[in-house]
A and B are shown apart, each in its own frame.
Chain A
Amino acid sequence: MNGRIRAIARKEFRHILRDPGSLGALLGLPLFLLLMFGYAVSLDVDEVPLEVRDLDRTPESRALAEAFFAGGRFVPADPGPGGGESALETGRAAAVLEIPPGFARALGRGEASPVRVAVDGSDGTRAQTVAGYIDGLCLRYGGDLRALEAERAGPADGGPPGAVLDIRPRVLFNQELRSVVFLVPGLVALILVITAVVSTALAVVREKENGSMEQILVSPVGALELILGKTLPYAAVGAVSAAVVLGAAALLFGVEVAGGVGALAWTTGLFLLASLALGVLISTMADTQQVAFLISTMLTLIPTFTLSGFVFPVRNMPAVIRWVTRLFPTTYYLEILKAIVIKGAPFRYYAGPAAALALYAAAAIAAASVRFSRERSRSR
Chain B
Amino acid sequence: MSGSGDGPAILAEGLVKRFGVFTAVDGVSFEVPPGRIFGLLGANGAGKSTAIRMLCGLLAPDGGRARVAGIDVARDPEGVKSRIGYMSQKFSLYGDLTPRENAEFFSSLYDAGGGGRGDPIARAFERTGLSGGAGRPEGVLTRDLSAGYRQRLALACAILHRPRVLFLDEPTAGVDPVARRRFWDLIYGFAEEGAAVLVTTHYLDEAEYCSEVTLMRDGRIVAAGKPGDLKRACFPGIVLEIECGSTGPALEALRREPWVEEAAVFGSRIHAALAPGFGSDRVSSLLAASGAGEAKIRETDPTLEDAFLKIVSSTGAASLGGAGSGPTGGGAR
Report yes or no: B101 in contact with A217, Cβ–Cβ below 8 A: no
Q: How far is the CA of A7 from the CA of B102 in the complex (A)?
A: 10
Report yes or no: B96 in contact with A218, Cβ–Cβ below 8 A: no
Given the complex, which residues of A lie within 8 Å of B90, measured CB to CB? 210-211
Q: How far is the CA of A217 from the CA of B84 in the complex (A)?
A: 12
Q: Given known contacts A7-B108, A7-B109, A211-B92, is B97 in contact with A218 (CB within 8 Å)?
A: no
Q: How far is the CA of A211 from the CA of B108 in the complex (A)?
A: 19
Q: How far is the CA of A215 from the CA of B169 in the complex (A)?
A: 12
Report yes or no: A218 in contact with B101, Cβ–Cβ below 8 A: no
**B110 adjacent to chain A (CB < 8 Å):** yes
Which residue from B58, B84, B88, B111 sits with its C-beta under 8 Å from A4? Answer: B111
**B104 adjacent to chain A (CB < 8 Å):** yes
Given the complex, which residues of B lie within 8 Å of A210, measured CB to CB? 90, 92
Given the complex, which residues of B lie within 8 Å of A18, measured CB to CB? 96
Given the complex, which residues of A lie within 8 Å of B78, measured CB to CB? 220
Q: Which residue of A lies closest to B112 (CB)?
A: A219
Q: Given known contacts A7-B104, A19-B96, is B58 in contact with A211 (CB within 8 Å)?
A: no
Given the complex, which residues of A lie within 8 Å of B84, measured CB to CB? 218
Mark each residue of chain A from 15 to 48: 1 if its CB lies under 8 Å from any CB of chain B, else 0. 1001100000000000000000000000000000
Q: Which positions 61-110 of chain B face chain A at CB distance < 8 Å?
A: 77-78, 81-82, 84, 86, 88, 90-94, 96-97, 101, 104-106, 108-110
Q: How far is the CA of A215 from the CA of B110 in the complex (A)?
A: 12
Q: Given known contacts A15-B96, A211-B90, A220-B82, is B60 in contact with A378 (CB within 8 Å)?
A: yes
**A367 adjacent to chain B (CB < 8 Å):** no
Given the complex, which residues of B lie within 8 Å of A211, measured CB to CB? 88, 90-92
Q: Which positions 33-78 of chain B face chain A at CB distance < 8 Å?
A: 53, 56-60, 77-78
Mark each residue of chain A from 296 to 334: 1 if its CB lies under 8 Å from any CB of chain B, else 0. 000000000000000000000000000000000000000
Report yes or no: A3 in contact with B108, Cβ–Cβ below 8 A: yes
Q: Closest Cβ of chain A: how far from B58's Cβ, in Å?
A: 6
Given the complex, which residues of B lie within 8 Å of A8, measured CB to CB? 105, 109
Given the complex, which residues of B lie within 8 Å of A216, measured CB to CB? 109
Mark each residue of chain A from 145 to 157: 1 if its CB lies under 8 Å from any CB of chain B, else 0. 0000000000000
Q: Closest Cβ of chain A: how far from B150's Cβ, in Å?
A: 13
Which residue from B92, B110, B114, B157 sits with its C-beta under 8 Å from A214? Answer: B92
Given the complex, which residues of A lie within 8 Å of B104, measured CB to CB? 7
Q: Given known contacts A214-B88, A215-B86, is B59 in contact with A4 (CB within 8 Å)?
A: no
**A14 adjacent to chain B (CB < 8 Å):** yes
Q: How far is the CA of A378 from the CA of B114 in the complex (A)?
A: 31
Which residue from B53, B59, B81, B101 sits with its C-beta under 8 Å from A219? Answer: B81
Given the complex, which residues of A lie within 8 Å of B96, measured CB to CB? 14-15, 18-19
Q: How far is the CA of A377 from the CA of B60 in the complex (A)?
A: 7
Q: How far is the CA of A7 from the CA of B96 in the complex (A)?
A: 16
Mark each residue of chain A from 343 to 380: 1 if its CB lies under 8 Å from any CB of chain B, else 0. 00000000000000000000000000000000001111
Report yes or no: B88 in contact with A11, Cβ–Cβ below 8 A: no
Q: Which residue of B lies closest to A3 (CB)?
A: B108
Most buried by B among A15, A218, A220, A380: A218
Q: Which residue of B lies closest to A17 (CB)?
A: B96
Q: How far is the CA of A3 from the CA of B104 in the complex (A)?
A: 11
Report yes or no: A15 in contact with B81, Cβ–Cβ below 8 A: no
Q: Which residue of B lies closest to A10 (CB)?
A: B105
Q: Closest Cβ of chain A: how far from B210's Cβ, in Å?
A: 22
Q: Closest Cβ of chain B: how far from A18's Cβ, in Å?
A: 5
Report yes or no: B91 in contact with A220, Cβ–Cβ below 8 A: no
Report yes or no: B92 in contact with A218, Cβ–Cβ below 8 A: no
Most buried by B among A3, A6, A215, A220: A215
Top 6 closest pairs, chain A to chain B, by CB: A7-B108, A211-B92, A211-B90, A219-B109, A212-B92, A218-B86
A interface with B by C-beta (< 8 Å): 3-4, 6-8, 10-11, 14-15, 18-19, 210-212, 214-221, 377-380
Question: 12 A-B residue contacts at CB 8 Å?
Answer: A3-B113, A4-B111, A7-B105, A14-B96, A15-B94, A214-B58, A215-B106, A219-B106, A220-B78, A220-B109, A379-B19, A379-B59
Given contacts A15-B96, A218-B86, A377-B77, could you give 18 more A-B pairs where the C-beta distance is less than 8 Å? A3-B114, A4-B108, A4-B111, A7-B104, A11-B94, A11-B97, A11-B101, A14-B97, A212-B92, A214-B58, A214-B92, A215-B106, A215-B157, A217-B58, A219-B106, A219-B110, A220-B82, A380-B59
